[in-house]
Chains A and B, each alone.
Chain A
Amino acid sequence: MARFVKSFAIAMAATALVAAGGAHAQFYKDKRVTMLINYGAGGPTDIEGRIVAKHLPKHIPGNPTIIVKNMGGGGGMIASNFLGEVAKPDGMTFGFFTWNVLAGMIGDPGLRVGYDKFRFIAGIANPVVLYARKDTPPGLTTGADLMKASGFKGCSLNVRNTNTIQQVLALEMLGLDHRPVPGYRGLKAVEGAVLKGECQVANSSLPGWKGSISATMGNDVVPVFQLVAPDENGKIERASALADIPTFEEYYAMHKGGTPSGPKYDALRTIVDSFMAMFRTAFAAPGAPEVSVEALRTAFRSMWKDEAFLADYEKRVKNRPKQIVGEAGEKRIAALSSLDPALAQLFKDYIAKLSK
């Protein structure tokens, strides 16, 4: 009898699996799926999205066609608002975004649909490198020498961007006397400003650092530290592509002693743990069918083992992708919606201070 029950249970489980797989296979068969990218053509979000769009279909049962559509503007929020409010929640549209985590945290009026309302599919991690000009007085040979500098200028994107807030927080925590110069219209403008000596310090994502800055300004700048999200065990380790650059925590320990803590560090970690862990994110529309969300999550997991995709990605982004899929990502996003009000206020205060 026990053997019969066990066999029956196994048979039922197998049937369920086959049925689910069958449902997945049917759902996207002969379908046209739209991938919305929230920045314009040619930018890093677009390029990475198109690499994904090229390889993902063969990992989705039914091998649908993926059509990429760019919808830039509003700091990436126009596309996310569209996905949240206008796109049909039928599983046939998903977003590939560089999401605006700060907008969600401070209640930016431009973000009408919170990211916690979307169905998170997958995310690609990306650390950030803070770098400095070698001729920053008194002169830098390595990143450690930045601790001897003072009165330098740190340039960054607009005041409501994580690029600005994370840099200011990190430099203040190190006790460095610097002048923030936010407001540059794009990372290329920031790179230009550093190149021209209009400012001495800036930060950029890994693709920007490896793909552009170190190539065009490698003789003029030094990397200082990297901001990197913890792994699934909560450990903060150097990204494999940036093995020679200390993490912010290592840099802090070297020069200030101990581990960083306090409200500013909590704020910094809030940004890094969410944004850098899932720098690029794939979201399904709120209310999308569960079968479509699962099919896409399974496809992303499978694609991450596809050597053709990994090689294609690495050729262009100069880094092997590190992913987060499914509930793990949803938990991180959900945590932001229950953000400590004091933290949210801290961000708002910084934005107001930098706007003066």
Chain B
Amino acid sequence: MLTIDIAPSLATAALAGQRGDRVLFRGLTLTLVHGQIVWLRGRNGRGKTSLLRILAGLSAPAEGGVLYGGQALPTLAAEWRQRLVYIGHANALKDDLTVAECVRFAAAVQGRQPSQGDIDAALAVWGILPLRNAPVRRLSQGQRRRTALARLALPQPPSIWLLDEPLDALDDEGVQTLCTLLSGQATRGGSVMLTSHQALPLSEPMPTTLDLDALEAPGRAA
């Protein structure tokens, strides 16, 4: 069992994740509180993405459950769901939409209606404001990742960010921008859990490491 001993806002109890008949992790108890950044580590295939998907409610755990502010995920109120941001491996961008349209749509799906000024400001944070009217199909991989992450720079209430390999395809400047946003998120009372194979150059707040390799070795389901 691995416990991050702080007051809960996102909590799991004896969580187990499974892919096919293979148990990825078992007995995972953790809490993620406001202001905390958790760096989820582990070898390839250890279940990092599976854990994030379970925490986001996209997959069901094999055992245990996830609580957000004491509420079980399936019964989570819309107000709470608005505060849950998940950005996966895939960027969720449409080649035929422009950069600004993609950011606006991503925010709308989450129940927010940012102004054009807010969107422009978010794109400026990521250095892609000149590309705001460019179709996504013309962007490089790094620019696509910046577009997907741009919604993190929109004005928003304290929320929980679940980020799967957010550093993928980002250059040093992009990594620095992400770290600045992560710090800001922690400062305003939000929390973050992210996976990355790269070390995160972040000191304020210092990320808490959750190493799935430290859990008991995975095996076959009974």
Query: Do the two shown chains form a genuine complex with each other?
Result: no
Q: Which B residues form the contact surface with A (CB < 8 A)?
A: none
Interface residues of A (CB under 8 A from B): none
